[in-house]
Amino acid sequence: MNKNINHLVNETLDSFAHLQKVAAPDGLNERILQRMNQPKGSKEVYLFRNAQWLIAALVIGIVCNVYLAISYNNKGESNGTETSTISSFESHFRLETTTNLYE
Amino acid sequence: MSELQLIAELKDGNQQAFIKLIDLYKHLVFNTVLNMVQQFEEAEDLTQEVFIQVFQSIQHFRGDSKLSTWLYRIAITKCLDWQRKNNAKKRMNSMKSIFGLDGHQDIIPDFVHPGIQLANKEKATMLFKALKQLPENQRIAFTLIKADGLSYEEVSEIMQTSIKSLEGLMHRAKENLRKSLEQFYKS
């Protein structure tokens, strides 16, 4: 059984021995030249493709900022003080600085 | 026209010289790419890309090696890039299918080489299938030596490695192929 499998494996490993070369498809030259002479995409399209990542990063940044601002604002409201986003930020940090000073 | 003349004219941007280059090497490039990617349409597309790459970077060709060696190198690099992109695409599709998105997996039929003799057809198809599981370097070495019929010297120059390490690669490739073929015949 093992001898039989070994024989089959050896035959399979040698099966490329008489592999004949294949002719390249007809009209390949023309298609290569056609592709070479094709105009490349315009500079504007290229710039936009690269810029879209920048736009996406900006959008994500803005969304994160808004989320943080709202969450701080809500924190201020839950403490019973209605503060604006900036002032809630300020009070948060001022409080921390003051406690650190007294420590 | 000698090879040096051809290179000089290619560097001058002569389109006739480029057509001559395609005529001289299209079968060589196509066969190498076909043996590597094992898909007819993809092989044609990649062959086109190889020649476009040659045209774009002929100015950087220093002439340290033969033109054919340089062409083999570009062809192999293109095939590996294609393989990596293909693998990434497959991974993305399987991820999509996990999340229930439209991630259909393409079922690629076994590759039947058109230049294979009828008596060897099944075994060669099996060998091509087993080759896909080999690591990149082993696959390149085995394909260039066994399927393209190149010598160890030529392949070592293409792969920019010593003959000693190429022999090692071939030994490991044969061992790995033997293991997967044995598994197949036992099952």
Per the CB < 8 A criterion, the answer to whether A28 and B48 are in contact is yes
The residue written with tokens 């020649």 in the block is B51
What digits encode the pLDDT tens for the residues B122-180?
899 999 999 999 999 999 999 999 999 999 999 999 999 999 999 999 999 999 999 99
In this structure, the answer to whether residues B161 and B133 fall within a common structural domain is yes
Contacts of B174 in chain A (CB under 8 A): 13
For position B80, which CATH number holds?
1.10.1740.10
pLDDT confidence tier of residue A100, bands split at 50, 70 and 90:
low
Contacts of A17 in chain B (CB under 8 A): 146
Q: Do A19 and B124 touch (CB under 8 A)?
A: yes
Count of H-run helices and E-run strands, chain B: 8, 0
Q: What is the DSSP letter of B120?
A: G
Mutate to test the interface with A, among B33, B48, B56, B177 (most CBs of A within 10 A): B48
- The whole-number pLDDT of residue B107 equals 67
pLDDT confidence tier of residue A98, bands split at 50, 70 and 90:
low
- The whole-number pLDDT of residue B116 equals 82
Q: Do B146 and A16 touch (CB under 8 A)?
A: yes
What digits encode the pLDDT tens for the residues A34-84?
988 877 655 666 666 677 788 889 999 999 999 998 888 877 666 655 555
What digits encode the pLDDT tens for the residues B22-36?
999 999 999 999 999
Q: Which of B80, B49, B98, B97 is nearest to B143 (CA)?
A: B80
Between A9, A22, A29, which is nearest B181 by CB? Answer: A9
Between A8, A18, A28, which is nearest B47 by CB? Answer: A28
Per the CB < 8 A criterion, the answer to whether A31 and B43 are in contact is no
How many Cβ pairs within 8 Å bridge chains A and B? 85
The nearest CA of chain B is from the CA of A39 a distance in Å of 14
The nearest CA of chain A is from the CA of B151 a distance in Å of 14
For position B147, which CATH number holds?
1.10.10.10
Q: What share of chain A is helix, strand, coil (3-state, %, to 5)?
A: 75, 0, 25
Task: Quote the domain boundaries for residue B84.
Answer: 1-108
Last residue of a domain, one of B76, B108, B140: B108
Buried b / exposed e across A41-67, counting CB within 10 Å, b at 16+?
Answer: eeeeeeeeeeeeeeeeeeeeeeeeeee
pLDDT confidence tier of residue B110, bands split at 50, 70 and 90:
confident
In this structure, the answer to whether residues B73 and B152 fall within a common structural domain is no
Of the two residues B185 and B103, the one the predictor is more confident about is B185
What total number of domains does chain B contain? 2
Between A15, A25, A32, which is nearest B22 by CB? Answer: A32
Between A12, A25, A28, which is nearest B127 by CB? Answer: A12
Is the predicted pLDDT of residue A11 greater than 70, yes or no?
yes
Q: What is the 3-state secondary structure (H, E, C) of A22-68?
A: CCCCCCHHHHHHHHHHCCCCCHHHHHHHHHHHHHHHHHHHHHHHHHH
Please give the ipTM for the structure prediction.
0.79
What is the Cα–Cα distance from B127 to B112, expressed in whole angstroms? Answer: 10
Mean predicted lDDT score pLDDT of chain B: 90
What is the Cα–Cα distance from B172 to B176, expressed in whole angstroms? Answer: 6
Any idea where the domains of chain A sit in the sequence?
Answer: 36-103
In this structure, the answer to whether residues B21 and B103 fall within a common structural domain is yes
Q: Which of A33, A22, A36 is nearest to B40 (CA)?
A: A22
- The whole-number pLDDT of residue B32 equals 96
- The whole-number pLDDT of residue B25 equals 95
B30 interfaces chain A, CB cutoff of 8 Å: yes
In this structure, the answer to whether residues B90 and B132 fall within a common structural domain is no
- Residue B144, class by beta-carbon neighbours within 10 Å (0-12 exposed, 13-18 middle, 19+ buried)? buried
Average pLDDT over every residue of A26-41: 85
User: Could you give the percent of chain B with pLDDT greater than 90?
Assistant: 68
B106 interfaces chain A, CB cutoff of 8 Å: no
What is the Cα–Cα distance from B55 to B15, expressed in whole angstroms? Answer: 10
Mean predicted lDDT score pLDDT of chain A: 76
Q: Give the gyration radius of chain B's Cα atoms.
A: 19
Q: Which of A15, A30, A25 is nearest to B31 (CA)?
A: A25
- The whole-number pLDDT of residue A3 equals 75
Last residue of a domain, one of B81, B108, B135: B108
- Could you give phi then psi for residue B178, rounded to 5 degrees? -60, -45
Average pLDDT over every residue of B80-101: 82
Name every residue whose Cβ is closer than 8 Å to that of residue B79 and which is 6 or more positions away in sequence.
B32, B33, B36, B37, B46
Average pLDDT over every residue of B102-126: 78
B112 interfaces chain A, CB cutoff of 8 Å: no
Q: Do B22 and A9 touch (CB under 8 A)?
A: no
Between A5, A24, A28, which is nearest B186 by CB? Answer: A5
- Could you give phi then psi for residue B122, rounded to 5 degrees? -65, -45
Average pLDDT over every residue of B63-86: 93
